[in-house]
Chains A and B, each alone.
Chain A
Amino acid sequence: MTKTIIIGAGPAGLTAAHELLALGQSAEVYEKDAVVGGISRTAEYRGYRFDIGGHRFFTKVPAVQDLWEEVLGEDFLERPRLSRIYYNDKFFDYPLKPLNALRGLGLIEAGRVGLSYLWAQLVPHPVEDNFEEWVSNRFGRRLYEVFFKTYTEKVWGMPCTEISADWAAQRIKNLDLFKAVKNAIIGAAGDQEVITTLIGRFHYPRLGPGMMWERLAERLEASGTPVHMETPVKRLHHRDSRITALTVETAAAGGEQELQADHVISSMPLRELLSSFSPPPPTEILDAANRLRYRDFLTVVLIVEREEVFPDNWIYIHSPEVRVGRVQNFKNWSPEMVPDTSATSLGLEYFVQQGDDLWSSPDEDLLELGAREMGVLGLVSASDVVDGTVVRMPKAYPVYDDAYKEALALIRGYLASFPNLQVIGRNGQHRYNNQEHSRLAGMRAARNVGGETHDVWAVNVEQQYHEEGVDSSRRAGDRLTPERLEQPELDELIRQAFARFDPVALGSALGSVAALILLSSTVALLLEGGDPVGPTLSLLGQYLTGYEVSWTGALVGFVEAGGLGFGLGLLMAKLINLLVGAAESSIRRRLEISEVFDPLSVGEP
């Protein structure tokens, strides 16, 4: 039996271990931290539980959903979602709704947004290298400034002009018009669960996301797959393009242990992974790894002596006068996240850089800052805050800056030369994966150990791969087959709904019929005879030059009516196509806004 060492007990690593267990393979998990779950852990302070972020459980993959339900059973709650944007002392629905945004912005601002949108359509940036250009081209500069710029810059800590357009493009890659329409159709039926990017409900463990990973770790331990906590991997030894052994730091002071491994699945940050290679990788690879940047994160948790503060699960704070980026209301995620229902715990999320002023501030100062900012926003009075704590999470998000792409390509090329090493997870791949992506990568990596051939890098790139199993209409006990059979038919129907008319064909059809009608009418009158022949129909001569009720006129009328009919058909088709295109663009734009706008949402597809 082959032995696999898994580095990291986050969602990706634990899923890989679980999958290997299911495949009957031997595995061991090594985690440097004292808590499982990675960034999806649940922290606790005096009975108040909170996420590092906010981790919805939302998957389109039945195997993942089944596992979640199996692991948590009754503790896997289904919760309603409400998240709004706070800007300029007003709340805006998120995902953005045109009427609500219009009301919030006011007529003048809405007019500016509309005009700048039109301007962007007429005179777009010719090249879309950065995020600002990308968003402005699609939504107009003013909407970008109101709803994208401040928040995105808070999140990533750099000007939008320095954020690669790839990041936004990846968010909407394979963004599916079909699904939006299907959701509209299926949603209208009202009897089936609809899973969409604009999800209105989500699953969440009763005691926070860490509950899922703690249970999974317990299950692994019980089944003979050890999960070694606080045991960081120090070195990966390699020879002849194979990882041969790992050195881990053990609990004993200064103790180290060498482990043999047939396969290694790593979710540790690429920079750390490569720097632990023994012998070291080529300098250019190490340099590339050092060019990868991360965004760090801290949560200021405020305990507020109020039963209700706001109804949202979380609020995006776009107001530029405060530094907080997002506020979580953990009680609204699950009522059991607080020990006392008369109090509320808020998680104020600050996106930071290790070593910057916020990261280095004492906890007391951060708690004071948080309470003050809540007061500035008018969400909570500082006097209602009775307690609090601070949690810092380094390397929470991989940064997609100008340098990352080339650096990552170099690293991938180098790692590909080690067939028994696979990298998974958000930092393991330096990719903005959510829990679902991480779990899928973990599953694939484990199956590769079992002899299958999956591309673990393809997760979060070719969404189609894992959305083949879209479970949007699945009922309990159903398998995928019926949905798969129906899928192409529905796709075809939607394609037909947005199909364009062929202007030449419609012109030809209307032209031919108009020409035939006039010809046959004229001929009928000529055959009928009389004096004068067809005086009324002859009046058409006022519109059709040279037309009269005569044999020559019949031919002239045939040609001219044909031409007019053709022109009319052509215009009709173009007009219809314009309206169909506008409807399609409107749906697509709403999807794009929801995808691009939510840069830190976890659990989004």
Chain B
Amino acid sequence: MMRRSTVTEEELVRSAVARLRAGILAIVCGLLAGTGLFVATMWLVLQGGKNVGQHLSLLRYFLPGYSVTWSGALLGFFYGALFGSLAGGLIAWIYNRVVDLRHPRKRTG
């Protein structure tokens, strides 16, 4: 479309590439994963029954000590927060490195 661009800010804004804040993404992912695993575990515990959470408890192969119990929910929160924040931080770190490679920052001033 042959529109006349007269707005320089438009170009400036559209050329800006977002960066991720690794710390913030780590905290957010950590909290989400930790809370998610805690709630999922508690949900199964509260439901009760035979072989409580037989599938979710398979996570014990990756998270030593984890089980679908009250104490397992707390431990699950810890593991979820730990691995979630690691994943979040890693995603942000990789994203920012790739952005830096593809869009080198211009020196200003």
A517 close to B (CB within 8 Å): yes
Q: When A505-B99, A521-B62, A524-B62 are in contact, do A496 and B16 touch as well, CB less than 8 Å?
A: yes
CB B61 to nearest CB in A, in angstroms, measures: 6
- Tell me whether A513 and B102 are in contact (CB under 8 A): no
- Tell me whether A498 and B16 are in contact (CB under 8 A): yes
6-38 of chain B: CB within 8 A of chain A: 6-10, 12-14, 16-19
Bound-complex Cα distance A513 to B8 (A):
37
- Tell me whether A509 and B10 are in contact (CB under 8 A): no
A525 close to B (CB within 8 Å): yes
Within 8 Å by CB of A512, from B12, B90, B96, lies B90
Minimum CB distance partner of A498 in chain B: B13
Bound-complex Cα distance A178 to B13 (A):
9
- Tell me whether A536 and B94 are in contact (CB under 8 A): no
Within 8 Å by CB of B12, from A127, A165, A495, lies A495
Q: When A174-B8, A506-B95, A509-B92 are in contact, do A501 and B61 touch as well, CB less than 8 Å?
A: no
Interface range, A side: 35 or more
- Tell me whether B4 and A169 are in contact (CB under 8 A): yes
CB B64 to nearest CB in A, in angstroms, measures: 10
0/1 string, A122-153, CB within 8 A of B gives 1: 00101110000000010000000000000000
A433 close to B (CB within 8 Å): no
A500 close to B (CB within 8 Å): yes
CB contacts between A and B, total, < 8 Å: 96
- Tell me whether A499 and B3 are in contact (CB under 8 A): no
- Tell me whether A505 and B6 are in contact (CB under 8 A): no
**Which A residues touch B58, using CB under 8 A?**
536
Bound-complex Cα distance A178 to B58 (A):
52
CB B44 to nearest CB in A, in angstroms, measures: 16
A268 close to B (CB within 8 Å): no
CB B1 to nearest CB in A, in angstroms, measures: 5
Within 8 Å by CB of B61, from A127, A128, A504, A525, lies A525
**Which B residues touch A498, using CB under 8 A?**
13, 16
- Tell me whether A502 and B17 are in contact (CB under 8 A): yes
0/1 string, A46-73, CB within 8 A of B gives 1: 0000000000000000000000000000
- Tell me whether A499 and B16 are in contact (CB under 8 A): yes
**Which B residues touch A581, using CB under 8 A?**
14
A272 close to B (CB within 8 Å): no
B2 close to A (CB within 8 Å): yes
**Which B residues touch A506, using CB under 8 A?**
95
Bound-complex Cα distance A521 to B59 (A):
10
CB A453 to nearest CB in B, in angstroms, measures: 24
A356 close to B (CB within 8 Å): no
- Tell me whether A496 and B94 are in contact (CB under 8 A): no
- Tell me whether B6 and A501 are in contact (CB under 8 A): no
CB A304 to nearest CB in B, in angstroms, measures: 43
B91 close to A (CB within 8 Å): yes
Chain B: interface residue total (CB-CB under 8 A): 32
CB B56 to nearest CB in A, in angstroms, measures: 10
CB A501 to nearest CB in B, in angstroms, measures: 5
CB B4 to nearest CB in A, in angstroms, measures: 6
A173 close to B (CB within 8 Å): yes
0/1 string, A354-377, CB within 8 A of B gives 1: 000000000000000000000000
Q: When A501-B18, A502-B99 are in contact, do A495 and B13 touch as well, CB less than 8 Å?
A: yes
- Tell me whether B98 and A172 are in contact (CB under 8 A): no
A392 close to B (CB within 8 Å): no
**Which A residues touch B17, using CB under 8 A?**
499-502
Q: When A501-B17, A513-B90, A536-B58 are in contact, do A174 and B98 touch as well, CB less than 8 Å?
A: no
B45 close to A (CB within 8 Å): no
- Tell me whether B3 and A505 are in contact (CB under 8 A): no
**Which B residues touch A424, using CB under 8 A?**
none
CB A353 to nearest CB in B, in angstroms, measures: 29
A588 close to B (CB within 8 Å): yes
B87 close to A (CB within 8 Å): yes
A82 close to B (CB within 8 Å): no
0/1 string, B69-96, CB within 8 A of A gives 1: 0000000000000000001001111111
Within 8 Å by CB of B10, from A177, A505, A524, lies A177
**Which A residues touch B94, using CB under 8 A?**
505, 508-509, 512-513
Bound-complex Cα distance A588 to B6 (A):
12
Minimum CB distance partner of A178 in chain B: B9
**Which B residues touch A178, using CB under 8 A?**
9
0/1 string, A155-194, CB within 8 A of B gives 1: 0000000000100010011111110000000000000000
**Across chains A and B, which 10 residue pairs bring their CB atoms closest together, nearest first?**
A505-B98, A509-B95, A499-B18, A499-B16, A509-B94, A509-B91, A505-B99, A495-B16, A498-B13, A505-B95
7 CB-based A-B contacts, threshold 8 Å? A124-B3, A127-B2, A172-B6, A177-B9, A499-B16, A502-B18, A508-B94
